[in-house]
Amino acid sequence: MILSMTGYASRTLQLESQIIQLEIRSVNHRFLDLTLKLSEEIKHLESNFRSLIAENVSRGKIDVKIYIKDNKSTSVQINLNQPLLREYLKLSEELQKLCTQNISISMHDILNFPGIVNQEASFSEEMKLVLFSELDKLIADFRESQASEGKKITQLLTERTSEIFSVIKSLKPLVENATLEYKAKLTERLRDFLKESDVNDTRLQQEFAFFCQKIDVSEEIDRLHAHTTELSNLLTKGGSIGKRLDFICQEMNREANTFGAKSVSIPTSKCAVELKVLIEQIREQVQNIM
């Protein structure tokens, strides 16, 4: 099975007065780039969430959101930062000495000093189990969406691969015809410039052999066929093959470019262009494969 790096899933769970909203979405990326947006109450669980997601996803730019609303079961502890309060009071006394007017500080002012009041939210083990259970289900839904998208990509790549095989199959007779046409043109040109009796078959064969060597694309065609076969085999095998497929596409494109540069006829040039278009279409889709 081939997975796409593009995927989306969301879940909403209601437990009495608590609503847990989870969402995960991803796009293609060379490596794993994971971003989590969490409610303040569960930020202390971020490393656990990251580990669970990383166990199931290897590549892609992943955005995960987990929010808890109306969570009345959360017990909140409010603590007074006494050492910091003492420092604020000392500072207040120093300011009072420097000012000619009396400075009054109310209880409201003290409570609004930065860092004076700390709120710590704690969750029961049952709540944590529910969160991780929902995250497991979310990841399963997410993987299913990636598999569905991967199936579409595989079908498209299989079709394009089949088209490349067809083009490669048509190349051999086209190259042979181009060679024969050149031999006929070469003979005609020599006869135009020289007297017919002066046309040297040996010189003609030398020129023709040089031309055949110059436009020989048998190696390029063989390598292109081998790369395309490997690509087809990988599509059948499945798994995390995105990086391997991308490398194969680079090699295929290199062979197609070389073939196009050696092309000496309109039909073979058209085939070279067609090959480049098909390979580019494959490469665009390969960027989305895990």
> Is 197 found in the same domain as 85?
no
> Is 255 found in the same domain as 187?
yes
Dist. CA 268–CA 275, nearest whole Å: 10
Is the alpha carbon torsion for 286, 250, 247, 233 positive or negative? positive
Joined together, the tokens standing for residue 22 give: 């989870």
Dist. CA 129–CA 15, nearest whole Å: 13
Q: Which residues of the chain have pLDDT under 50?
A: 73-75
In a domain, 79, yes or no: yes
In a domain, 136, yes or no: yes
> pLDDT per residue over 12-63, tens digit each?
988 766 788 999 999 998 889 999 999 877 888 899 999 999 999 888 999 9
> Is 171 found in the same domain as 159?
yes
Q: Which of 117, 7, 22, 8 is nearest to 68 (CA)?
A: 22
In a domain, 1, yes or no: no
> Is 134 found in the same domain as 191?
no
> Is 132 found in the same domain as 109?
no
137 contacts 11 by C-beta, under 8 angstroms: yes
In a domain, 92, yes or no: yes
Domain extent, residue 140, equals 7-72+125-146
> Is 259 found in the same domain as 136?
no
> Is 171 found in the same domain as 87?
no
- Using a 10 angstrom Cβ sphere, with 0-12 exposed, 13-18 middle and 19 or more buried, the burial of residue 120 is exposed
> Is 271 found in the same domain as 157?
yes
> Is 175 found in the same domain as 231?
yes
> CA 226 → CA 5, 164, 285, distances in Å?
27, 12, 20
> Is 166 found in the same domain as 79?
no
In a domain, 23, yes or no: yes
CATH of the domain at 141: 3.30.230
Packing angle of the helix pair 242-262, 266-286 (nearest 10 deg): 170
In a domain, 53, yes or no: yes
> Is 158 found in the same domain as 269?
yes
In a domain, 2, yes or no: no
Q: What is the pLDDT of residue 211?
A: 63
Q: What is the pLDDT of residue 183?
A: 67
Number of domains in the chain: 3
Q: What is the pLDDT of residue 87?
A: 79
Other CB atoms within 10 A of residue 265 CB: 16
> Is 257 found in the same domain as 191?
yes
